[in-house]
Homo-oligomer: A and B are copies of this chain.
């Protein structure tokens, strides 16, 4: 019944005979190098030297102990851990090349391996913003609405944590967000790693909704978390705990140093990516020591700062090059790779659009397996725009259209159609056109292709005004979870019990 509702909603959305499978995309774009193979080898080798000779500061004792047992050189006073390349090589040998994230419904499993392309919305913004309600601290209402928007578009393959619901107390927040993800969508989900208590709650909530026991859960990832190192060369307790807990539970880690060239990383593309690579390798090693074969992605988030203010810039030429370089590193180690787009703009205008698309192209030409922050990100992630969410989805759908193959057989080329039309005539009525016109072209979600007169008559509304219509219509639907009532009840009982027990405060 739930499926039936969803099916109809989906067909109504399409509004056309054209049905392209946006759920399963393979990257059709050629992969672009920025450095030579020798240069990439030198960067990889320098990253190994950074780990061996300089090491990382690991704040979590358990993580130091794991590395010590594996043969790393540990100084407990400074908390510095120097990691030999044998440890890294062993980790790269056990890290999987292909991962399937389980979804909650048919067609919702997500394959992550080189060659596949998937998209995720903007994540973790402290603020939400839209034209009607303005910019405000993120709330649970925003979070839930953004889950509806995420569910509405097949081109978003997983659910993210798009805004931080600041109206919910931190020790209860994960109940609200994970519940929203699990009951308003049926996609694989991203959860925060904010301490053992929250992580264990999150895992139990997923098992309750998805109807799997601990054994089944631990052999197939349903969720993932993003682990950012505290660049340069440091990993805090909470993040390290997440790396270990997710590995042991068989859930996916995305190892993503956040390195801004000239700030927490060298000012050069080569230097920043080398440092990022070293830190990612350390996280991968920690993860694989906790459980060899645990699902983990290689991740990158490298851009540059604006030198006049020190603030981060996104969608810059330097970020583009860093992304291509990271893609080369990912291919070198053969792992599925997470990259990101986004915008530093303060408003959903042409600047923000250009930056987002520019950085997105870097991800695609770099061969990213998944692209984070694909929709809605403004202010380098400090706010999530509803209108930009919609206009960015349009861009993703256009990218997805490019993933579909195009043929040029005799009927496609259509010599006969050309024969039918006199010089200077038109093709509106050829047999070829009549046969194909319903499904030939992508139909836009929010773009307006009417002429200036017609557009003016209809109020001269810009794309953000039209995007407002789109998101409001989606949110106004009588939204039901694509899961059974019994599982939702079990989930709610769990949340009530855990809340009564005091919840789980975040750590770190």
Among B56, B135, B412, B425, contact of A232 (Cβ-Cβ < 8 Å): B425
- A sample of 16 more A-B contacts (CB under 8 A), given A30-B365, A268-B414, is A36-B408, A80-B423, A232-B427, A233-B423, A266-B417, A267-B433, A269-B408, A275-B418, A306-B441, A306-B449, A307-B438, A309-B451, A346-B455, A346-B460, A351-B446, A382-B451
Interface residues of A (CB under 8 A from B): 28-32, 34-36, 39-40, 42-43, 46, 49-50, 54, 56-57, 80, 135, 230, 232-234, 261-271, 274-275, 304, 306-307, 309-313, 316-318, 320-321, 325, 344-355, 357-358, 361, 365, 379, 382-383, 388, 391, 394-395, 398, 401-402, 406-410, 412-415, 417-419, 421, 423-428, 430, 432-433, 436-438, 440-442, 446-452, 454-456, 460, 462-464
Q: Which residues of B contact A426 (CB under 8 A)?
A: 263-264
Query: Shortest Cβ distance from A86 into chain B, in angstroms?
Result: 20
Given the known interface contacts A35-B408, A265-B427, the answer about A42 and B413 at a Cβ–Cβ threshold of 8 Å is yes
Task: Using known A-B contacts A266-B432, A410-B42, A412-B271, determine if residue A423 contacts B57 with beta carbons closer than 8 Å.
Answer: yes
Q: Which residues of B contact A379 (CB under 8 A)?
A: 451-452
Are A309 and B449 in contact, with the CB atoms below 8 A?
yes
Cβ of B437 and Cβ of A307 under 8 Å apart?
Answer: yes
> Per a CB cutoff under 8 Å, which of B344, B406, B423 touches A321?
B406
In angstroms, how far is the closest chain B Cβ from the Cβ of A300? 16
A323 to chain B, nearest CB (A): 11
Kindly state the separation between the CA atoms of A36 and B412 in the bound complex, as whole angstroms: 14
- The 4 A-B pairs at the shortest CB distance, nearest first, are namely A317-B401, A270-B408, A30-B30, A39-B408
**A279 → chain B, closest Cβ, in Å?**
10
Instruction: Determine the distance from Cα of A126 to Cα of B204 in the docked complex, in whole angstroms.
Output: 64
Docked complex Cα distance between A408 and B325 (Å): 10
Q: Is the CB of B321 within 8 A of A449?
A: no
Pick the contact of A345 from B268, B349, B447 — CB < 8 Å?
B447
Q: How many copies does the complex hold?
A: 2
Cα A307 to Cα B449 with chains together (Å): 10
- Min Cβ gap A446→B in Å is 7
Pairs A–B under 8 Å by Cβ, sample size 26: A30-B365, A39-B407, A232-B424, A262-B428, A262-B437, A266-B433, A270-B414, A271-B414, A271-B417, A274-B413, A274-B414, A275-B418, A304-B441, A307-B440, A307-B441, A309-B454, A317-B401, A346-B450, A348-B350, A349-B462, A350-B352, A351-B394, A351-B462, A353-B354, A354-B357, A357-B358
Chain B residues in 8 Å Cβ range of A135 = 452
Contact A419 B54 (CB under 8 A): yes
Compute how far the CA of A391 lies from the CA of B352 in the bound complex, rounded to whole angstroms.
11
Q: Which residues of B contact A407 (CB under 8 A)?
A: 35, 39, 270
A451 touching B311 in the complex, CB below 8 Å, given contacts A232-B427, A348-B350, A391-B354: yes
Chain B nearest CB from A184 CB (Å) reads: 26
Assembly CA distance A424 to B231 (angstroms): 6
- Closest B residue by C-beta to A442: B317
| Complex Cα–Cα for A34 and B323 (A) | 24
Q: Is the CB of A450 within 8 A of B311?
A: yes
Docked CA distance A185–B291 (Å)? 66
Residue pair B267, A436 in contact (C-beta under 8 Å): yes
Instruction: Tell me which residues across on chain B come within 8 A of A318, comparing CB atoms.
Output: 440-442
CA distance A390 to B366 in the complex (A): 28
Contact A450 B309 (CB under 8 A): yes
Instruction: Verify A270–B413 contact, CB threshold 8 A.
Output: yes
Per the bound structure, the CA–CA distance linking A262 and B437 in Å amounts to 8
Q: How far is the CA of A198 from the CA of B416 in the complex (A)?
A: 40
Identity of the chain B residue whose Cβ is nearest the Cβ of A232 in the assembled complex? B421
Q: Which B residues are CB-close (under 8 A) to A449?
A: 306, 309, 311-313, 344
